[in-house]
Amino acid sequence: MARQPQAAITDRLQRARQLHLGLWLLLGCAALLSLSSGASAVSIDTIFAALSGQALSPMEEVVLYSIRLPRLVLGILVGAALAVSGAVMQGLFRNPLADPGLVGVSAGAGLGAVAAIVLGGSVAWLGFAGIYLVPLAAFFGGWGSTMLLYQVATWHGRTSVATMLLAGIALGALAGAASGILVYMADDAQLRDLTFWGLGSLAGATWAKIAAAGPIIVIALLATPFLARGLNGLALGEAAAHHMGIPVQRVKSAAILSVAAATGAAVAVSGGIGFVGIVVPHLLRLATGPDHRMLLPNAAVLGAALLVLADLISRVVIAPAELPIGIVTAILGAPVFLWILLRRRGGMGL
Amino acid sequence: MRRVLLACGFALFAMPLSAAERVLSVGGAVTEIIYALDAQEKLVARDTTSTYPAKAKELPDVGYMRALSPEGVLSVAPDLILAVEGAGPPETLAVLQEADIALISVPEGYDGAAIAKKITLIGAALGREAEAETLARQVQNDLDHAAEQAQTRAGAAPKKVMFVLSTQGGRIMAAGQNTGADAIISLAGGVNAITGVQGYRPLSDEAILAAAPDVILMMDRQGDHAQGDGDLLAMPAIAATPAGQSGAILRMGGLYLLGFGPRTAVAVADLSAALYGR
């Protein structure tokens, strides 16, 4: 009797591994599609020409190397960061609807960005940061508010997830109020900028942004596989996990730090992109179960692929103009999210 | 005279120096000026705010002026971008610079001299210097004339005008100082009812009552601007003002009223006539 569930779990893990290969394939196709389509005439032939060493026209070079390639790389990084952060948060809070917003990253990053957009022009010494002022402010805002929340929720070396959740709501309201004051001060043009920031976009992708955000995201993502066993244990409850020999407190702090770093960096360079962090982990749990050992890597690849595809849609659907990517992910993600809610309605007592 | 000028224009146009052959226009007033200079055959695309003349809407739209996408702009292969001040974002402009596309930023301003400057700058960029000079002088004269006439009409009793940008969620966003609306109201012989506020700001109901506007001015556009007069007059803050009591609500095209381009003199005359009668 005891063997059957064991066999089922191994079977699921096996399926998750096969899926992992499939997801890489999907990401590869998405990447190629993304590089070869867009408003201008640079196509798949141009890419093959570039790969075979032929010289490109200056225009083709700009489109490929300064526009599409940085966007692709940033899309992969941001998509992976958001999806993995979502999966980690859902594991940590043992709540299927948890997302990185719960640890204050989004509220803090939003406040940082609003402050930079509204006040940035009037504070002379901030001028050195130039076009990187908004991303920098968003990152430090997100990181700072998560650290504050973590301090509030940690007492005698133990972090209470419930306190964190409730304090997060209070801190979010406070950050929202502060943003509100700044929005009130904003002029017409700044209000437009705020709206576009909130909808998210990869249009501002530059190699400099990738160089700044990339290492943070990559390091945070590389740390998450070590959390997988701990998160699996936490699914049974903190006491049970502790009895299984899992260093609960270390898992919690590592999870919160990596989520704050990855999401903070992702939001800083791309603005508010919703639903990736909720939809991707859910799709994978439905397909191959909740085992974090494969869930986290699969979420990274699927998140990257989906964001690259969403960015592709945002670029081509009203070309030569562009739709903010947050609109695309919400249009695609919200129905999936509702469907998940309806399916689980009974189980969650909603 | 006009023919000679045109011929001069074509001569300039034919010279290798005036290289701009494919122009992207960003900003409603910029596009209007390009049409007014009869240089529209060089236009390859426009932004979302360029809605006049109607012909301009047939051009491909590269998006909102503050959220341009680099590849969208490159795809229409411009060799010159004429963009109103504030166009962006900076990341896009950096990529365009890398692609060696000339960009001329047209400064914004709210008087005749500013419009003349826009026209001269755009004329020079398109090899239409002579026409630009004529147009600039004409626009400035017309505007001076319209403003003078408006002041005479207003006489000693100028009306207090409140420009309402939007009424989203029952909150009235009105124009304070240093706005295009403020400038056009005073050009048309009115007085901005909202004082001591910079830019467009949401106002409290009490502030609107205290401002006591005689006339409410709005843009006739779709979206939340298109709120019916009845709904607007039913708002408690508006209902108790002189404008609310007499139902004095004026609506004019947004670009026409606030574009500060070739049509501004006519807009001033129109507004002043609507305020005081001809």
CB-based contacts of B17-23 (< 8 A; 24+ apart in sequence): B18/B126, B18/B127, B19/B79, B19/B80, B20/B79, B20/B80, B20/B102, B20/B125, B20/B126, B20/B127, B21/B79, B22/B76, B22/B77, B22/B78, B22/B79, B22/B80, B23/B78, B23/B79, B23/B80, B23/B81, B23/B82, B23/B126
The verdict on residue B150 lying in a domain is no
Q: Residues B15, B103: one domain?
A: yes
Q: Residues B130, B179: one domain?
A: no
Q: Residues B29, B135: one domain?
A: yes
Q: Cβ B199–A188 below 8 Å, yes or no?
A: yes
The token pair at A51 is: 């790969």
A129/B contact by beta carbon, under 8 A: no
Q: Residues B124, B174: one domain?
A: no
Q: How confident is the model at residue A130 (pLDDT cuts 50, 70, 90)?
A: low
Contacts of A63 in chain B (CB under 8 A): 71, 74
Domains in chain A (CATH in brackets) are 69-344 (1.10.3470.10)
For A41-82, write each residue's pLDDT tens digit.
Answer: 788 888 888 888 888 887 888 888 888 999 999 999 999 999
Q: Cβ A38–B75 below 8 Å, yes or no?
A: yes
Residue B221's pLDDT is 63
The verdict on residue B165 lying in a domain is yes
Please confirm whether the linkage preceding B107 is cis (ω < 30° from 0).
no
Q: Is residue B84 classed as helix, strand or coil in its secondary structure?
A: strand
Residue A349's pLDDT is 43
Q: Quote the minimal CA–CA distance from A120 to chain B in Å.
A: 14
Q: Cβ A321–B94 below 8 Å, yes or no?
A: no
DSSP A322-341: ---HHHHHHHHHHHHHHHHH
Which domain-ending residue is among B117, B141, B165? Answer: B141
Q: Residues B127, B174: one domain?
A: no
Q: Residues B121, B196: one domain?
A: no
Task: Nearest by CB to B200, from A40, A187, A196: name it.
Answer: A187
For B200-221, write each residue's pLDDT tens digit.
Answer: 888 888 899 999 999 999 988 6
Q: Residues B183, B222: one domain?
A: yes
Residues 157-186 of A with CB under 8 A from B: 184
Report the range out of A132-141, A159-168, B176-185 with the highest average pLDDT: B176-185
The verdict on residue B149 lying in a domain is no
Q: Residues B122, B209: one domain?
A: no
Instruction: Establish, for the pair of chains A and B, how many residue pairs have beta carbons separated by less than 8 Å.
Output: 97
The token pair at B185 is: 């109201």
Domain count, chain B: 2
Neighbours of A122 (CB within 10 A): 8
Q: Residues B76, B25: one domain?
A: yes
Rounded CA-CA distance A106/A89 in Å is: 13
Give Cβ neighbours of residue A323 (< 8 Å, ≥ 6 apart). Answer: A313, A314, A317
> Is B223 in contact with B183 (CB distance < 8 Å)?
no
| CATH number of the domain that residue B121 is part of | 3.40.50.1980
Q: Residues B174, B268: one domain?
A: yes
DSSP B177-193: BSSHHHHHHHHTT-EES
The verdict on residue B148 lying in a domain is no
Give Cβ neighbours of residue A165 (< 8 Å, ≥ 6 apart). Answer: A93, A102
Which domain-ending residue is among B98, B115, B141? Answer: B141
Q: Cβ B64–A321 below 8 Å, yes or no?
A: yes
The verdict on residue B163 lying in a domain is yes
Residue B231's pLDDT is 81
Q: Cβ A131–B90 below 8 Å, yes or no?
A: yes
Residue of B nearest to A57 (CA): B99
The verdict on residue B147 lying in a domain is no
Partners of residue B102 on adjacent β-strands: B80
Per-residue pLDDT, averaged over B166-194, amounts to 90
The verdict on residue B123 lying in a domain is yes
Which residues constitute the domain of residue B92? Answer: 2-141
- Closest by CA to A301, choosing from A12, A38, A47, A29, is A29
Q: Quote the minimal CA–CA distance from B271 to chain A in Å.
A: 23
Q: Is residue B19 classed as helix, strand or coil in its secondary structure?
A: coil
> What is the ipTM metric for this complex?
0.72
Give Cβ neighbours of residue A160 (< 8 Å, ≥ 6 apart). Answer: A153, A154
The verdict on residue B81 lying in a domain is yes
Per-residue pLDDT, averaged over B168-178, amounts to 85
Q: Residues B125, B195: one domain?
A: no
Q: What does chain A come to in residues?
A: 350
Contacts of B45 in chain A (CB under 8 A): 320
Q: Cβ B60–A193 below 8 Å, yes or no?
A: no
> Is B121 in contact with B136 (CB distance < 8 Å)?
no
Q: Residues B96, B160: one domain?
A: no
DSSP B35-63: HHTT-GGGEEEE-TT---SGGGGGSPB--
